[in-house]
């Protein structure tokens, strides 16, 4: 398939398919969560074409299920796809019972198979939401499907990738553009998630809040100052951030703690899952303008590129079935002294752990490599075992201090390094 064919195709092959092939034979229930329009429905219909499909956002389907949840599930005992299943939480108790029956019968009597039978999708992370759907925890394998990674896309220009983002419709629908897609996406999200699910009525305030969050990508979040800027209580702001996080709009990168000279921050950095959505809020519409020092949005390219790289790493981890938080940043300030220099502030944008060492990753929106970029990584290397990386827009290069990776080679971050 050529890039042009892929651009016009109704289906884009996903990185998570390898994980799905692994999990299919051993799990009777599979839950696929992710933001709206990340391709969940298209993926499961492609991967499980033999299963009947039910959309719980349809009023007629909801009425049928709510009338008798047990009868509905038993009528589909051979398997089915339940889209947006969290809308009808009554169904989860029946699925819990069936999952236990399948697992018990296979374990005790060798009956049948534990092949995937029920597929549950949702645009809301029920692991964070609480409530009855939590009964699926431990009984369903979970895949969190983010927007497309750069590796899944035909586009190769970094500025176009940052502006366009990774929602599949922008690549499968010929006439779809960021300027038409994202405003409609936000309005649908606010209507179906913010209003219908969370009963929030301050639509304009919430949209403005999302825009302010986009202006803080890559920054440590101070809840109090954010609340003061918007004119709402700190508890409201924290609640709204939780909504954005649970619906896969934003995620947080926590600071890494292991007593490395006593990191002085407890704040988390904020990122968007999709840079295209963030760029839309920031009024960044032209890929060319991001690379033009004369443009008004040129100053955004550094933070957008940092968000792009961190979200690429996050998305690749999710596609591998990894749901534990294992991406961090490191921030350290030395004690204040008269002879203090700017180098007394050390910060590493991204930390990954493997069984050999920490991977310290600095992110730079530049085509030209600078050896000084390894400064903070070398400082951290005096405190613990570290492998140093730079991710930038220039060519992949091996140096004596570490590896400078082109953003297209991010997958190399997931290869375990040698012992140090």
Tell me what pLDDT residue 135 has.
Answer: 59
Q: Which of 144, 176, 200 is the last residue of a domain?
A: 144
Tell me what pLDDT residue 419 has.
Answer: 40
Burial of 337 (0-12, 13-18, 19+ CB in 10 A): exposed
HEC string of 4-51 equals HHHHHCCCCCCCCHHHHHHHHHHCCEEEEECCCCCCHHHHHHHHCCCC
Mean pLDDT on 298-310: 96
34 versus 259: the higher-pLDDT residue is: 34
Contact at 8 Å (CB) between 84 and 122? Answer: yes
Identify the band that residue 327 occupies on the pLDDT scale cut at 50, 70 and 90: confident
Tell me what pLDDT residue 85 has.
Answer: 86
Q: In 47-147, at which residue ranges do the beta strands (DSSP E only) sit?
A: 53-55, 80-83, 118-122, 141-144
Q: Which of 90, 109, 144 is the last residue of a domain?
A: 144
176 & 30 share domain:
no
Into how many domains does the chain fold? 2
Q: Which domain holds residue 291?
A: 150-252+269-310
Tell me what pLDDT residue 289 has.
Answer: 93
User: Which two structure tokens, joined as six digits, stand for 231?
Assistant: 């004119």
Q: In 186-326, at which residue ranges do the beta strands (DSSP E only) sit?
A: 250-253, 269-272
Mean pLDDT on 158-166: 97
3-state SS assignment for residue 318? helix
Q: What residues contact residue 410 under an 8 Å CB cut-off, 6+ apart?
A: 150, 309, 312, 313, 316, 391
Q: Does residue 399 belong to any structural domain of this protein?
A: no
**Average pLDDT taken over every residue of the chain:** 85
Q: Does residue 197 belong to any structural domain of this protein?
A: yes
292 & 180 share domain:
yes
Tell me what pLDDT residue 4 has.
Answer: 39
213 & 120 share domain:
no
Percent of the chain clearing pLDDT 70 (strictly above): 85
Q: Does residue 382 belong to any structural domain of this protein?
A: no
d(CA 304, CA 302): 6
Q: What is the CATH number of the domain that holds 132?
A: 3.40.50.300
For residue 307, what are the β-bridge partners?
none
Tell me what pLDDT residue 91 has.
Answer: 86
Q: In 124-184, at which residue ranges do the beta strands (DSSP E only) sit?
A: 141-144
Q: Does residue 404 belong to any structural domain of this protein?
A: no
121 & 240 share domain:
no
For residue 11, what are the β-bridge partners?
none
Which range has the top average pLDDT, 28-32, 348-352, 378-382?
348-352
pLDDT digits (tens, 9 = 90+) for 273-294: 999 999 999 999 999 999 999 9
Mean pLDDT on 374-389: 90
* C-alpha closest to that of 219 among 244, 196, 250, 191: 250
Tell me what pLDDT residue 102 has.
Answer: 72
221 & 101 share domain:
no
116 & 175 share domain:
no
106 & 159 share domain:
no
Q: Does residue 299 belong to any structural domain of this protein?
A: yes
Name residue, tokens 């799990």: 27
103 & 215 share domain:
no
Q: Does residue 88 belong to any structural domain of this protein?
A: yes
User: Which two structure tokens, joined as six digits, stand for 170?
Assistant: 């922008």
* C-alpha closest to that of 28 among 131, 108, 120: 120
171 & 276 share domain:
yes
Q: Which of 144, 172, 194 is the last residue of a domain?
A: 144
H helical segments located in 254-344: 275-281, 287-290, 301-319
pLDDT digits (tens, 9 = 90+) for 48-87: 999 999 999 899 999 999 999 989 998 998 899 999 888 8
97 & 178 share domain:
no
Contact at 8 Å (CB) between 196 and 30? Answer: no
pTM of the model: 0.89
For residue 255, what are the β-bridge partners?
329
- Indicate the helix (H) or strand (E) that contains 100: helix 90-109
59 & 25 share domain:
yes
pLDDT digits (tens, 9 = 90+) for 83-136: 988 888 888 888 888 877 776 555 554 555 567 789 999 887 765 555 545 556
133 & 164 share domain:
no
- Indicate the helix (H) or strand (E) that contains 65: helix 59-67
Tell me what pLDDT residue 267 has.
Answer: 82
Q: Does residue 394 belong to any structural domain of this protein?
A: no
Q: Does residue 383 belong to any structural domain of this protein?
A: no
Query: Is the confidence at residue 270, as pLDDT, over 90?
Result: yes
Question: Quick one: how far is CA 338 from the chain centroid?
Answer: 43
């Amino acid at each position: 398939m050529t890039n042009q064919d892929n651009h016009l195709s109704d289906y884009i092959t996903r990185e998570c398919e390898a994980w799905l092939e692994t999990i299919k034979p051993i799990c009777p229930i599979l839950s696929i969560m992710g933001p709206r329009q990340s391709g969940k429905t298209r993926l499961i219909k492609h991967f499980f074409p033999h299963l009947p499909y039910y959309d719980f956002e349809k009023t007629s389907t909801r009425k049928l299920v709510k009338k008798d949840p047990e009868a509905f599930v038993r009528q589909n005992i051979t398997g089915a796809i339940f889209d947006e299943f969290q809308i009808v939480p009554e169904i989860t108790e029946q699925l819990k019972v069936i999952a236990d029956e399948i697992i018990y019968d296979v374990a005790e009597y060798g009956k049948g198979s534990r092949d995937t039978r029920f597929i549950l999708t949702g645009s809301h992370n029920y692991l964070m939401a609480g409530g009855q759907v939590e009964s699926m925890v431990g009984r369903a394998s979970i895949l969190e499907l983010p927007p497309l990674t750069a590796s899944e896309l035909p586009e190769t220009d970094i500025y176009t990738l940052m502006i366009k983002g990774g929602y599949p419709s922008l690549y499968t629908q010929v006439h779809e553009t960021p300027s038409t897609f994202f405003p409609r996406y936000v309005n649908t999200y606010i209507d179906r998630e913010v209003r219908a699910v969370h009963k929030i009525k301050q639509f304009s305030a919430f949209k403005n809040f999302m825009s302010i969050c986009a202006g803080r990508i890559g920054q440590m979040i101070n809840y109090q100052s954010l609340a003061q800027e918007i004119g709402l209580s700190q508890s409201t702001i924290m609640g709204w951030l939780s909504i954005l996080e649970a619906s896969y709009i934003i995620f947080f990168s926590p600071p890494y703690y292991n007593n490395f000279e006593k990191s002085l921050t407890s704040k988390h950095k904020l990122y968007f899952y999709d840079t295209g959505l963030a760029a839309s809020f920031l009024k960044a519409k032209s890929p060319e303008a991001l690379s033009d020092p004369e443009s008004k949005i040129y100053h955004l390219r550094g933070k957008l590129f940092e968000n792009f790289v961190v979200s690429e790493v996050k998305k690749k981890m999710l596609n591998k079935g990894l749901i534990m938080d294992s991406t961090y940043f490191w921030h350290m300030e030395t004690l204040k002294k008269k002879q203090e220099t700017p180098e007394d502030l050390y910060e590493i944008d991204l930390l990954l752990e493997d069984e050999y060492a920490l991977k310290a990753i600095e992110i730079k929106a530049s085509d030209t490599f600078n050896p000084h970029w390894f400064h903070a990584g070398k400082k951290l290397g005096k405190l613990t075992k570290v492998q140093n990386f730079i991710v930038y827009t220039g060519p992949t290069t091996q140096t004596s201090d570490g590896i400078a990776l082109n953003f297209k080679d991010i997958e190399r971050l997931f290869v375990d390094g040698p012992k140090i």
